[in-house]
């Protein structure tokens, strides 16, 4: 029988250094029973302990291929949900702090999306005319919604290809929750900006007229990443003035104007691989989350590659930052005692439909299906 769960209150006063020692000891005692996933945006004090690192989908897929009993996801809530959906039934997914959410994901909840679908039905036949696409940065029940309605999931890497697939299914797309990724991906496909309309979920009919809805090929949910939206075109202009030879790379969650001014636009994995492959002596302005940029700076400075953060203000993912050494140590030491705290478990009905939407994406992207008997 497991001992009573250790209380979080015992850990909150601990210094980070003390937690670091206890985390290492707990990992050693677990002896492979737990795999630690660390997202690129995670703080270094936690990231250093990760067994596997990457973006959210890569981590979830890797987790589904390991034999660990416990999957400890040092990321945010929607990432842990995807890991639960793609992992084997006997595996348990744990999020060290349940308050680690995503403000962008929260901008599109199931009630609002279902309302939008009903409102669209007064102008169109949504299940015949509109393919719903949800960015992987969304709740499991929205992925399930897409599964039910012939829709699909996308990532920042494959959004353009997923859009291309969607237009072969139906005439229009409802893209949520991130308008910027949807707009940039549509632009890459050659869709004019005037054929992309923003759906304001706080207004009836998204704030659009029937004529605007009929004209739009992509309906962009009025959501955004609070970190990436802080970058501005003038940040790039001032940097280029100082360093004319420098290159600019940003994430497609940045605003359209920032993406247009950048030399390269791509996912976190793309940003990392591009800068790592750059020639020695090159200089880069990077528009994405601060922890990733700082880590990238340290990783390439030995090659005399200079990495600069795009914003003059601190822009880090505050919800990701909630995963701290104290919560991490608490979770691991409870696992040592066979206590599972903060387990993430998606409802079976949602998991089945969400996996349908995820599997469509994996099939289209040529990605093997995760092992999940």
Mean pLDDT (whole number) for 111-116: 97
Instruction: Tell me the pLDDT tens digit for each residue of 143-184.
Output: 999 999 999 999 999 999 999 999 999 999 999 999 999 999
Instruction: Report domain 105-221's class.
Output: alpha beta
Residue 372's pLDDT is 31
If you write DSSP's letter for every residue of 280-302 in order, what string do you get?
TT-EEEEES-HHHHHHHHHHHGG
Mean pLDDT (whole number) for 34-44: 87
Residue 204's pLDDT is 97
Domain locations along the chain: 8-101+320-346, 105-221, 228-309
CATH topology assigned to domain 228-309: Rossmann fold (3.40.50)
Instruction: Tell me the pLDDT tens digit for each residue of 333-366.
Output: 999 999 999 999 999 999 999 999 999 998 887 6
Hey, which CATH number is domain 8-101+320-346, 2.130.10.10, 3.20.20.70, 3.40.50.10800, 3.90.420.10?
3.40.50.10800
pLDDT at residue 373 tops 80: no
If you write DSSP's letter for every residue of 92-126 in order, what string do you get?
EEE-S-TT---HHHHTS-HHHHHHHHHHHTTTS-H
Q: What is the pTM of this model?
A: 0.89
Q: Are 92 and 346 in contact (CB under 8 A)?
A: no
| Same CATH fold assignment for domains 8-101+320-346 and 228-309 | yes
Residue 366's pLDDT is 66
pLDDT at residue 275 tops 80: yes
């Amino acid at each position: 029988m497991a001992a009573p769960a250790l209380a979080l209150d015992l850990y909150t006063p601990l210094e980070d250094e003390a937690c670091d020692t206890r985390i290492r000891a707990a990992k050693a005692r677990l002896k492979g029973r737990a795999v630690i996933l660390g997202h690129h945006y995670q703080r270094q004090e936690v990231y250093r302990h990760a067994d596997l690192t990457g973006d959210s989908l890569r981590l979830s897929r890797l987790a589904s291929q390991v034999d660990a009993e416990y999957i400890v996801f040092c990321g945010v809530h929607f990432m842990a949900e995807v890991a639960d959906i793609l992992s084997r039934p006997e595996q348990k997914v744990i999020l060290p702090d349940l308050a680690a959410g995503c403000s962008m994901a929260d901008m599109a909840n199931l009630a609002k999306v279902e309302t939008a679908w009903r409102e669209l039905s007064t102008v169109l036949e949504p299940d015949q005319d509109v393919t719903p696409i949800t960015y992987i940065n969304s709740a499991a029940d929205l992925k399930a919604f897409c599964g039910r309605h012939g829709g699909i999931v996308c990532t920042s890497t494959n959004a353009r290809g997923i859009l291309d697939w969607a237009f072969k299914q139906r005439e229009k797309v409802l893209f949520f929750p991130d308008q910027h990724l949807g707009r940039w991906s549509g632009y890459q496909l050659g869709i004019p900006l005037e054929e992309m309309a923003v759906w304001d979920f706080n207004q009836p009919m998204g704030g659009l007229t029937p004529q605007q809805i009929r004209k739009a090929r992509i309906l962009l949910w009025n959501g955004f990443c609070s970190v990436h939206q802080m970058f501005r075109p003038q940040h790039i202009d001032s940097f280029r003035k100082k360093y004319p030879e420098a290159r600019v790379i940003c994430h497609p969650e940045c605003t359209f104007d920032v993406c247009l001014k950048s030399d390269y636009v791509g996912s976190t994995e793309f940003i990392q691989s591009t800068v790592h492959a750059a020639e020695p002596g090159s200089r880069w302005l990077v528009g994405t989350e601060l922890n990733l940029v700082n880590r990238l700076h340290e990783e390439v400075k030995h090659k005399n590659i200079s990495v600069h953060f795009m914003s003059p203000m601190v822009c880090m993912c505050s919800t990701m930052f909630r995963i701290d050494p104290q919560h991490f140590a608490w979770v691991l030491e409870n696992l040592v005692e066979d206590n599972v705290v903060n387990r993430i478990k998606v409802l079976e009905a949602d998991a089945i439909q969400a996996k349908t939407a995820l599997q469509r994406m994996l099939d289209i992207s040529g990605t093997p299906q995760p092992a999940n008997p």
